[in-house]
Copies of this chain bind each other. A is one copy, B any other.
């Protein structure tokens, strides 16, 4: 007699709902998040989850896959090459900011799962590779900057480390202290970065 509260969604919608729920719950409870927790967050029963993912591991794998795929797209999506270096750097960081702000849960879940975070040794190959791809995209950006004579002749990896690390510290802060506009802070970091990295006339 009681109204049947079951959702009756298409496969894709249900999958997406579950993945987003997983991200949220993962953020709250870490890897220890229960299948039940996740399903409940998505307003499903635990067993429903198994119609969409073959097991908990698979669920998380799909989550990381999705998130990192989007992240990599942002990172590797070449900025317009007619922009000067700083413009391109800003363009990339702003893309990241947009992704983070639009898809906060997914973005934070991804961050919380960065390689050093969870057991580095047990990382999937696939997973590590994604990280390398992102790092490489950043390195490349720096290399170009050097080639173009805009950046000083540092090891591009060092430059990427400095800029990337700052960025990560910023988003980490943003993760903990609640959402605030990221772009202004990015501008600061870029300026800071450039006024060190930028080739000065007197060099």
Contacts and interface: CB of A to CB of B under 8 A. Distances in A.
A149 B196 contact: no
B32 A31 contact: yes
Contacts of A126: none
Interface residues on A, range: 35 or more
A169 B29 CA distance: 25
Given A27-B121, A30-B118, A196-B194, A165 B154 contact: no
Of A116, A145, A198, the most chain B CB neighbours within 10 A belong to: A116
Contact of A192 (B26, B114, B162, B167): B162
A179 B189 CA distance: 29
Given A161-B170, A168-B165, A168-B169, A115 B176 contact: yes
A194 B189 contact: no
Quickly give the copy total for this chain.
4
Contact of A118 (B117, B121, B166, B189): B117
A169 B112 CA distance: 15
A44 to B, nearest CB: 18
26 contacts: A27-B121, A28-B119, A28-B121, A28-B122, A29-B119, A30-B119, A112-B119, A115-B176, A116-B117, A152-B198, A153-B199, A154-B188, A158-B185, A158-B192, A159-B192, A159-B197, A161-B169, A161-B170, A161-B189, A162-B165, A162-B197, A165-B167, A168-B168, A193-B196, A195-B197, A196-B197
Interface of A: 26-32, 108, 111-112, 114-122, 145, 149-155, 158-159, 161-170, 172-173, 175-176, 185, 188-189, 192-200, 203
